[in-house]
Amino acid sequence: MRFQQFDQFAAELKADTRAAVYDGSKKGHEKRTKLLFDEYPDPNRLRHLAGEIKQHVIENLDTYLPAVEAKMKANGVQVHWAGTAEAANEAVLRIMRARGATKLVKAKTMVSEETELAAFLEKHGIEALETDLGEFIVQIDGDHPSHIVKPIIHKNRREIAQSFEREGLGAYNDDPATITQRARKFLRHKYLVADVGLTGANFVSAESGRMVLVTNEGNSRFCLAATKCHIAMIGIEKIVPRDYDLALFLNLLARSATAQELTVYTEFISGPKSPVQPDGPEVMHVIFVDNGRTEVLASTCREILRCIRCGACLNVCPVYRQASGHAYRSVYPGPVGAVLSPLLMGDKFPQKADLPKASSLCGACNEVCPVNIPIPDLLLRLRNRAKEENVPSPGTPPMGAWALLASQPLAWRASLLGGKLIDYVPTKLIPVPALQAWAAKRALPAWRGGEFRKWLKARRK
């Protein structure tokens, strides 16, 4: 392989897909930044603080997890633990079968994307319907989301209108309002006949066992207003210490994710519905999912577990904007995905070891992260891990000889003089294909090896 697969993918991306991804992410970033800086004298303090709180949580999960479990049980929630994606899916299936349930409506949850829950349930004869508009479109298209909060950032209205027509949701009409109304009309009757509503959780308060769920569309609320059984799949890192901390996190999440002061629906759920309430789940199950997280916790990249899935790092990332989310071949694209996705692979890390290299290490991701994750540092650590595990990496020149040269001053100075040759080698003859591609697009400055040292010597005389 001459080039990185990721770079090839970006090069072959359709022009209008690239434009859609670029415009969508750029706008998202600009709105977020304006909102944060308009409203707070020092938004960076909020980010740093939130990062410290989450770091505290992940470094104390051994006490927080049992504490949350105890609170939830006391609140009447049935708590389950799933070590793997398969175990998590099996747990959902078991709960459904025990109820004789056959229809599930689900809100957007990244962890269920990890476990590919919908496909698993369908295979076992259960109708599992995505209700977030973007996720619904992804589902009917058999596609994959390409952004954490804007799953169909890569699609345009014409493609969506065609999908709706194909699925019998109405004659071709690419007006976004019409598309939305058709989904509304179709989905509301699906919720009402569903047995189980499945959601994730954005935060779980260890103090109260309350889980917090945010959506703009109201689909998760509909799941929890229409069905009698609620299953929440929750990554074990989703905890915040206290209810008190929620104001900070909710403010940061809404602004970072969608440039809103607050997400439209923020639901605080500590158990099954109140006895005085006719609508909503009588039974609530929580499945705490590991699926590789404890391995991340044991790694030198555990800071990535602070992530609150806002997508701000995708929006600002110049590489994401050029390559789109599908270039990452993972549930989590963008800078956070370049760290998290290879880590979640466990032993199969080499399969995604190229992702940490797909970054110019510009650091913009760290600058916008609402929990201040040092993403570039983590990318670097993973590059080092890939090297230590001898994962082949096209386009990465071997550094051993260079290091030898750069630690021997005499040899270094000799090469400064010899480097003049570079001026005479035609691009076509450069022996490394990737370097050839580099030089085909960029002129090198003239070689001036050793000239400065000469100049300085003359000046000092």
Partner 1 sequence: MLNAERAPVTGKRVQLMATCLCDAFYDDVAAATVEVLEHLGVEVIFPEGQTCCGQPAFNGGDWVASRKVVRHTVKTFAGDEPVVVPSGSCAAMMFHGAVLEFENESDLPEVEALGRRTWELGDFIVNGLGVKTWPGKFAATVALHRACHTRGTGSIAAANLLLKSIVGVQVVEFGEVEQCCGFGGTFSVAFPNISTAMGALKLDHLRAAKPDILVSPDMSCMMHLTGLAAKEGQPIKAMHLAQVLRDALKAQ
Partner 2 sequence: MTAPDDRESILSRVRGALAPLHERAPLPDYSTEIAVMRSLVAGRDLVELLGERMKRVNGLALTEVAALVAHLRAGGWLHGYCDPVLWPRLAPHFGAELKVETEFDRTRVDDYAFGITRAAGAIAESGTLILHDATTSRRLAALTPWVHVAVVERAQIFSDLPQAVAALGRDPNVIWCTGPSKTADVEGILIEGVHGPGQQIALVLG
Q: Which of 119, 193, 262, 406 binds partner 1 (CB under 8 A)?
A: 406
Of 387, 321, 379, nearest in space to 355 by CA: 379
If contact means CB under 5 to 8 A according to the sort of partner, which of partner 1, partner 2, none does residue 338 touch?
A: none
Nearer to partner 1, 177 or 443 (CB): 443
Residues 1-60 that bind partner 1 (CB under 8 A): 3-4, 6-8, 10-11, 26
Query: Which range of residues in 145-153, 324-332, 404-412, 443-451 is near partner 2 by CB under 8 A?
Result: 145-153
Binding residues for partner 1, how many (CB under 8 A)? 74
The residue from 172, 244, 268, 452 that contacts partner 1 (CB under 8 A) is: 452
Which range touches partner 1 (CB under 8 A), out of 133-141, 198-206, 248-256, 406-414?
406-414
Query: SS3 string of 217-267?
Result: CCHHHHHHHHCCEEEEEEECCCEECCHHHHHHHHHHHHHHHHCCCCCCEEE
Per-residue interface string for the shown chain with partner 1, residues 339-368, x marking contact by CB under 8 A? ------------------xxxxxxxx-xx-
134 binds, among partner 2, partner 1, none (CB under 5 to 8 A by kind): partner 2
**Amino acid at position 86, single letter:** E
Tokens 């309350």 sit on residue: 210
Task: Check residue 21 for interaction with partner 2 (CB under 8 A).
Answer: no
- 116 makes contact, choosing from partner 2, partner 1, none, with CB < 5 to 8 Å by partner type, with none
Among 234, 236, 307, 314, binds partner 2 (CB under 8 A): 236
Cα(56)–Cα(103) distance, integer angstroms: 39
Min CB(15)–partner 1 separation in Å: 12
Strands 203-205, 211-215: pairing kind: antiparallel
Minimum distance from CB of 421 to partner 1 (Å)? 12
Residue 99, contacted partner among partner 2, partner 1, none, CB below 5-8 A by kind: none
Q: Which two tokens stand for residue 415?
A: 């090469």
Given the complex with partner 2, which of 241 and 450 has the nearer CB atom?
241
Question: How many C-beta neighbours within 10 Å does residue 59 have?
Answer: 12
Distance CA 306, CA 303 (A): 6
Q: Say if CB 128 and CB 118 are below 8 A apart.
A: yes
Rounded CA-CA distance 30/422 in Å is: 42
Structure tokens at 289: 């999912």
Among 322, 269, 368, 324, CA closest to 152: 324
Q: Which residue has the tokens 């983590």?
A: 378
CA atoms within 13 A on the CB side of 53: 24
Site for partner 2 in 33-72 (CB under 8 A): 39-40, 45-46, 49, 52-53, 55-56, 59-62, 65-66
Instruction: Choose the contact partner of 455 out of partner 2, partner 1, none; CB within 5 to 8 A by kind.
Output: partner 1
Segment 319-338, which members bind partner 1 (CB under 8 A)? 319, 322-323
- What span, in angstroms and rounded, lies between the C-alpha atoms of 378 and 369? 14
The DSSP element (H or E) to which 268 belongs, if any, is strand 265-269
Residue 426 Cβ, how far from partner 2 at the closest point, in Å?
Answer: 46
Q: Which does 416 bind (CB under 5 to 8 A by kind): partner 1, partner 2, none?
A: partner 1
Residue 281, SS3 per DSSP? coil
Q: For residues 411-430, which are near partner 1 according to CB under 8 A? A: 412, 416, 419
Give residues 112-141 in contact with partner 1 (rule: CB under 8 A): none
